[in-house]
Amino acid sequence: MPTTIIIGTGISATAYLASANRYLGQITVLGGPDLWNQVDPHHRMGQPRPLLTGNLLGGGPADRGFQERPRPGRHFMLARDFAWLVQDQLQRHANAVVPASYVTGITRLANRRYRVEFNAGHGAYVAQCDHVIIATGAGPARALMAGEDGRLEVDVNGMEGYVVGGNDFMAPGWTMPQGADPAGAHVAVYGGSATAAWVVELAAMRGMNVVCWFTRPGRDTDPTRWNADARFEAAFPPGARNVRVELDYRDHRFVLRLVGVELRRPRQGRPYVGLRFRDQQGRAVRRAVDLLVYALGTQHTRDAGIRAMLDANLQRDLVAYYDRNLAISATPSLLAVGTEDGTLMIVGSAMSSMAGFGGQELTLQGDPLRRLATLASYADISATLPPAARPTEGIAMVMAGIEALNDYIPARPARGGRLAHYITPAYTTAQPTGRGQPPPGLANPYGGQTRLHAIDFEWDINFNTSNRTQLAVYLAQSTDLEPFAANLAVALIVHLRTRDQNVLGLSDPQVAAIIDTADRYVQTLTRLNPQLDATRWLNDVLLGPDYYVGQCVDFLTTDPGWVQYWRQHQINC
């Protein structure tokens, strides 16, 4: 029986196990508590259940969609509820979980198995396995840097707790240094991300005064590098709660270059943090606060995070996995990094920093002449999701990428459903996806065998997070739409759910209206143009397979009459 070690206990690990398209055998999970087990259990995550359960988590169809038009600010999940869902799913799939464990090294042995070294409790251990899935999240926190050039790393450990990272600050057990009462304390927050916004909100809930919320300027080539609205844009994903935080702290947000951080100890009173900045005009700015919280994001690098675990020889065997089937969009994006045979895979939000690899370091899986730099970025997956589901290192992004990687279809054969016979082809037809697999056109060793497959399925689909392939398969199996009508319906669903005004996506009745509209529109086109199929075929050949359907989507969502039509369904274009 094969054995598998999963490194990570969060949504990336859970999503991979729930969608895996291979037999993983005995599964052992290593890692510490994920973020949502560390923050305040009553923390409101800023998104409702359907956007946080995707197609993989939860108890069934009731968790998958909105029965009425979704409204921001309603029914946001609590961190405790999401953490319970993840833990429950992880325990369902895993045979053993080793808590508070930390992996220090991974090597591939001569027998092609893996040697995994890890610490747990007070001991060091070694295990061998057939598969390794690395799902450790977005990576180590970026260091707190200062100085005129932004390259001087601040010794946070020497600040006696008066300078603290965002995740540590949000942990339920965090306390002020020396046991001081946090109420009334003056706080500076460094960061322009959603995590920084959570820090600000939590500080207010603890009775603290956020007197300075700052972020660094952008690059020299960025015309908005000193513009506060642009630099803090990522801190406020759509949602009523985020709008409130944005408005409440508008006068406390600044774009400043941090040049110095000092812990000062006056003769009387408690220590405080002295901050030195440069503003846009190069003028010196000073602030004195009781606490500095920095939330600068996370990333894997050449020397820190995942690459620090991997043996150098193993790193040279890795390739980039991408959206080969164009499930997400017409431009294939990065989905994962792993060995060519898929026995070691790095998945999830680690892809936001390419697991620490550079664009020229890795070739593509099954395509050794292309490099990682030729792919669209992992972040581009977000363009196909509702606005509230777009944080690059967020939950919906992780699930969307892993579902595409594993070709996951949210359906199962219906009990007592019909079965159809088919005979396996005499020659192979699929392109190889790993070493040892034959190219198409060779004799199929399984050719001529009679097999059975189900043709009736029970679906558990989330219309707001499913990719194009999942939606297309659903329509092909559950409706009698013509292929072009089905493709148009898929394109319309993805287009309309991503509009800025449709913050949380679409309701199930709205999706039903889109499907019906696509069907009737194509029927009308066919009556007006009996040569429609030939026209589409010519456009596909000359301009690409997405061109003609894209033209139809553009007309159906920009023509004033159609805009008014969608408005009647409470869908914004």
Three-state DSSP at 383 gives helix
Chain-centre distance for alpha carbon 394: 4
pLDDT in tens, the chain (573 residues): 899 999 999 999 999 999 998 899 999 999 988 777 777 787 777 788 899 999 998 777 778 899 999 887 777 888 889 989 999 999 999 999 998 899 999 999 999 999 999 999 889 999 999 999 999 988 888 889 999 888 899 999 999 999 999 988 987 789 999 889 999 999 999 999 888 998 999 999 999 999 999 999 998 888 999 999 999 988 887 666 677 888 999 999 999 999 999 999 998 889 999 999 999 999 999 999 999 999 998 889 998 899 999 999 999 999 999 999 999 999 999 999 999 999 999 999 999 999 999 999 999 998 999 999 999 999 999 999 999 898 877 899 999 999 999 999 999 888 888 888 888 888 887 766 555 677 787 888 888 888 888 888 889 999 999 999 999 999 999 999 999 999 999 999 999 999 989 999 999 999 999 999 999 999 999 999 888 888 888 888 888 878 899 999 999 999 999 999 999 999 999
**CB-hemisphere CA count at 13 Å for 58?**
20
- The residue type found at 260 is G
Contact 139, 353 (CB under 8 A): yes
pLDDT of res. 498: 96
H-state helical runs in 24-74: 49-53
Q: What pTM value is reported for the model?
A: 0.86
- Per-residue pLDDT reduced to its tens digit, 137-171: 888 888 899 998 888 999 999 999 999 999 889 87
Q: How many CB atoms lie within 10 A of CB 62?
A: 11
Length of the chain: 573
List the one residue out of 56, 116, 128 whose CA is nearest residue 86: 56
What is the C-alpha radius of gyration for the chain, rounded to an integer number of angstroms?
26
Query: Cα angle at 192 between 150 and 287, to 5 degrees?
Result: 65
Instruction: Assess contact for 75 and 49: CB atoms under 8 A.
Output: yes
For residue 158, give the DSSP letter: G
In degrees, rounded to 5, the angle at the alpha carbon of residue 561 between the alpha carbons of residues 556 and 562 is 25
Pairwise CA distance, residues 245 & 202, whole Å: 11
- Beta-bridged to residue 333, according to DSSP, are 376
| Burial label, 39 (beta-carbon count in 10 A; 0-12, 13-18, 19+) | buried
Distance in angstroms (rounded) separating the CA atoms of residues 161 and 181: 14
- The answer to whether residues 300 and 139 touch, using CB atoms and an 8 Å cutoff, is yes
Q: What is the pLDDT of residue 241?
A: 65
Residue type, 73: G
pLDDT of residue 167: 82
If we measure between CA atoms, which residue out of 360, 454, 461 comes closest to residue 414?
454
Distant-in-sequence, close-in-space partners of 181: CB < 8 Å, separation ≥ 6: none
CB atoms within 10 A of CB 254: 19
pLDDT digits (tens, 9 = 90+) for 268-283: 889 999 999 999 999 9
